[in-house]
Amino acid sequence: MDSLMILQNIELQRGDFSLHVEQLEFKKGRIYLLEGPNGAGKSTLLQLLAMLMVPTKGMLCFAGENVINASQRQRLRRQITLVDQTPYLFDASVYHNLAFGLRLRNISGDLLNLRISQTLEMVGLSGFEVHQARRLSGGEIRRVALARAMVLRPRLLLLDEPNAGLDREILPIFEKCLATLPGQGTTVVIASHDRDQSRRLGGEVLTLNEGRLLSTSQNTLHQTLLRETGTA
Amino acid sequence: MDYLINSLNAALTMILHMDQEVLSAVSTSLFTSFTAILIAAVFGIPFGAAIGMWQFPGKRLTVTLLNTLMALPTVVVGLLLFGLFSRQGPLGPLGLLFTPWAMIAGQVVLAVPIVANYTLAAVAGADQRILPTAITLGAGRLRGSWQLLLEVRFGVMAAIVAGFGRVIAEVGVAMMLGGNIRGSTRTMTTAIALETSKGEFAFGLALGIVLMSVALIINLFLNMMQQR
């Protein structure tokens, strides 16, 4: 089974805005780039994928499980992490920010320290553990937010406009980090205006406009649904 | 002018020599006020946080009621609880009237709306990204709410300090429910009222200085925490 998440006939209403996704599949260990103009629904779709929003209609499957209730969402959310376009760091040290999610997953002691230092090294912030989050620069905040998500080793990593506000010299480090994730089995979905990023990362492009998915290269969804859930 | 200076000298002498009457009133005040604010925090912080975080029908009315309760006259609280704790009252058999516990009960009633309101304001004014961030990192609603409270901890501390300020400075509840019994329920404020009316201005002044010093120390502590 190489499918991680499947959406079918999804409808989501958020005020005046509505999102429709007929069918969409995210495979394990792949990178996807969500593109579209402002207000196309990229952030809404990411929030839906992060299970922070509940669709009004349709079916959402994660790791072969049809997600239908709140307790399921809360349990499965531990395998998904969303990094917002303006990430919020807790008013504590960088170490505490990274330890937050690990402690919720009962990871502590030496293993916790090791994962934190390894992840900070990956984003080019070695030795930043003791720094106070409130005293970091904009680019550092973004990298700590990415490290805080990556340290959890989620199966699905969602990034909303991760390039915005990122220093030009940091971008290669950042993309190098992202490129390693599919190899670790993580599926990455990036909402971005930078089309070249997809080419650089070798990802699949999904285009959204006015809340509708316009193009994907996916044509095997129906068969996958039949095979994995037997409900399609 | 000489009268004021002489009284101030006498007051400072009493404080420096740790006058037993002064010490007794100070310790009763601190015991009742700290206990009351501890209990008020246990109820007021979660209550205020819940109102601040959740949307529910009647929220506006609840907030208005809470605002009104902040201005509760202390003598009215004293009067109502006097009815409850008096011998003929429903809680009369407990024998709490004219004990420090009756004063604590009254002070809790005074402090809960203040603690809840300040907490509510802190939570309502908090960054809207805190809860979704905690949730997306794997926290449940309860752990996420706790994280939100940690993020607005200075607002919550201000809530506790404001509540403490209200209870340590009040007279009505202490007088009506405590009865101003020497060595038992005589607090700084009731002692100031009584002794000054008896012409013991220096004694009242000594307690007034201690009362102001307590307020100053608590605010300095809060300021220090905020700057860390």
What is the predicted ipTM?
A: 0.83
Q: Is B196 on the interface with A (CB under 8 A)?
A: no
Count the helix, strand and coil residues of chain B and give each as a percent rounded to the nearest 5: 80, 0, 20
The total of structural domains in chain B comes to: 1
CATH code linked to domain A3-228: 3.40.50.300
* CATH classification at residue B154: 1.10.3720.10
Q: Does A13 touch chain B (CB under 8 A)?
A: no
Q: Inform me whether the C-beta atom of residue A153 falls under 8 Å from chain B C-beta atoms.
A: no
- CB-nearest partner of A81 from B127, B129, B136: B136
CA torsion sign for A192, A47, A80, B147 is positive
The Cα–Cα gap between A64 and A72 comes to 13
Mean pLDDT for A173-187 is 86
Judged by a CB distance cut-off of 8 A, whether residue A164 touches chain B is no
How far does CA A135 lie from the centroid of its chain? 26
Q: Is pLDDT above 90 for B124?
A: yes
Its sign, for the CA torsion A126, A127, A133, A134, is negative
Q: Flag whether B121 is in a domain.
A: yes
Q: Ranked by mean pLDDT, which of A180-184, A215-219, B95-99, B204-208 comes out on top?
A: B95-99
CB A88 within 8 A of CB B129: yes
Q: Does B129 touch chain A (CB under 8 A)?
A: yes
pLDDT in tens, B140-166: 989 999 999 999 999 999 999 999 999
- A104 contacts B137? CB cut-off 8 A: yes
Q: Which of B129, B138, B140 sits opposite A88 (nearest CB)?
A: B129
Residue A120: per-residue pLDDT: 94
Predicted confidence at residue A225, as pLDDT, reads 46
Residues of B with Cβ-Cβ distance to A78 under 8 angstroms? 138
Task: Give the closest of A50, A52, A104 to B139, CB-based.
Answer: A104
Contact A87 B133 (CB under 8 A): yes
Q: What is the pLDDT of residue A19?
A: 92
Per-domain boundaries in chain A = 3-228
pTM of this structure: 0.82
A88 with B140: Cβ contact below 8 A = no
More confident residue, A33 or B13: A33
Residue B1 belongs to some domain of the structure:
no
Q: Is the pLDDT score of A167 beyond 90?
A: no
CA-nearest residue to A53 within chain B is B132
Three-state secondary structure call for residue B95: coil
Q: Does B226 touch chain A (CB under 8 A)?
A: no
pLDDT digits (tens, 9 = 90+) for A9-66: 999 988 888 999 999 999 999 999 998 888 889 999 999 999 999 999 999 999 989 9
**B chain contacts of residue A149, beta-carbon cutoff 8 Å:** 137
Does pLDDT of A231 surpass 50?
A: no
| Confidence tier at A1 by pLDDT (50, 70, 90) | low
| Residue B167 reports pLDDT greater than 90 | yes
Mean pLDDT of chain B: 91
- pLDDT for position A110: 96
Between B159 and A165, where is the model more confident? B159
Contact indicator for B225, B63 with CB cutoff of 8 Å: no
| C-alpha distance from A194 to closest chain B C-alpha (Å) | 25
Q: What Cα–Cα distance (Å) separates residue B126 from each residue in B122, B152, B161?
A: 6, 7, 19
The parent domain of residue B217 ranges over: 21-227
Question: Is the Cβ pair A100, B147 closer than 8 Å?
Answer: yes
Between B222 and A93, the more confident residue is: A93
Long-range contacts of A51-57, Cβ-Cβ distance < 8 Å, separation of 24 or more: A51/A76, A51/A77, A51/A80, A52/A82, A52/B132, A52/B135, A52/B136, A53/A12, A53/A14, A54/A12, A55/A10, A55/A11, A55/A12, A56/A11, A56/A12, A56/A13, A57/A9, A57/A10, A57/A11
CB contact under 8 A, A104 and B138: yes
pLDDT at A175: 84
Q: How many CB pairs under 8 A join A and B?
A: 45
Give dist(CA A49, CA A55) in Å, integer. Answer: 10
A96 close contact with B: CB closer than 8 A: no
Closest CA to A91 of A47, A157, A141, A126: A141
Of the two residues B35 and B217, the one the predictor is more confident about is B35
Answer whether residue B166 is part of any domain.
Answer: yes
Across the interface, which of B129, B147, B151 has its CB nearest the CB of A84?
A: B129
Does a structural domain hold residue B111?
A: yes
Nearest C-alpha neighbor of A89 from the set B138, B127, B119, B146: B127
User: What pLDDT band is residue A177 in, cutting at 50, 70 and 90?
Assistant: confident
Least confident interval from A35-44, A138-147, A198-207, B69-78? A198-207
**B157 contact A CB<8A:** no
